[in-house]
Amino acid sequence: MKIEKVHITKSAQKLIQDVPALKRAYAEITKSIKSVTWPAGSRKFTINNSEKNINGVVPLKESCYVMLEKNYSWFREKPLKVLKEEKEKGGPIDVYKEFADNSPLALKRVGLEFETGNISSAHRSLNKLLLGQNRKELDLSVIMMPVKALAYYLTDRVTNYEELEPYFENVKRAAFIFIGFDADAYDPSAPIIPKGPDGMSTRSIKKWKDL
């Protein structure tokens, strides 16, 4: 996969420049999305573009998350305290990691969501990641989406980067990175990506556990 579009808010830019741990976090995320290939065993990502909405999208997310978990020790399903304990409602953050840079005071927490739902679901992710920052539970938030050109061949109504883009400015004072990824190649004879969560082998995920 390749990264086609990126939007980094000013404070996220400053964090990546000034904090080595967060520069590393961003590198881990970009490497993970770039590592997603198709078909299995290929060195690049080729999408079947024979028909609109023909491919699934969940297997892409799973591939990216597996890489984050296995190679870089990220955790899955991190609940925000504000939602779980205080408000007692709302789901966890998809993927999460704490970076310490050898100092507990320097603890930095990054939350990531890879959007495979529709546009309104992406708005919910955005608001959840913002709430986490407002409540000092997250330092940096990342939202990953296919660009519009790729989304055309993925599950119907999956959020695309361009569709959420008008709202990036709503969080301009927070630390957000928006990543729009695209296939390396389009080929009508490429295998079709299966739809649904069973596209890749089932496995146990590394869930976050509060100490």
Q: Which two tokens stand for residue 141?
A: 């938030």
Q: Residue 150 or 164: which CB sits closer to a copy of itself?
A: 164
- Please pick, from the candidates 169, 196, 197, 205, the single residue that binds a copy of itself as defined by CB under 8 A: 169
Shortest Cβ distance from residue 129 to a copy of itself (Å)? 10
156 binds a copy of itself (CB under 8 A): no
Q: Residue 17 or 134: which CB sits closer to a copy of itself?
A: 134
Shortest Cβ distance from residue 131 to a copy of itself (Å)? 6
Q: Residue 86 or 187: which CB sits closer to a copy of itself?
A: 86
- Please pick, from the candidates 4, 77, 101, 165, the single residue that binds a copy of itself as defined by CB under 8 A: 165
Shortest Cβ distance from residue 160 to a copy of itself (Å)? 10
Of 62, 115, 137, 165, the active-site residue reads 115
- Characterize 90-101 residue by residue with b for buried, 16 or more Cβ atoms within 10 angstroms of its Cβ, and e for exposed: eebbbbbbbbee
- Inter-residue long-range contacts of 13-21, CB under 8 Å, 24+ positions, other chains counted: 15/108, 15/139, 15/140, 15/175, 19/101, 19/106, 19/108, 20/101, 21/99, 21/100, 21/101, 21/106, 21/108
Q: Residue 120 or 189: which CB sits closer to a copy of itself?
A: 120
115 among known catalytic residues: yes
Shortest Cβ distance from residue 115 to a copy of itself (Å)? 11
- Please pick, from the candidates 19, 54, 119, 192, the single residue that binds a copy of itself as defined by CB under 8 A: 119
Q: Which residues bind a copy of itself (CB under 8 A)?
A: 82-83, 86-87, 89-90, 117-121, 123-124, 126-127, 130-131, 134, 162-163, 165-167, 169-170
Active site residues per annotation: 115
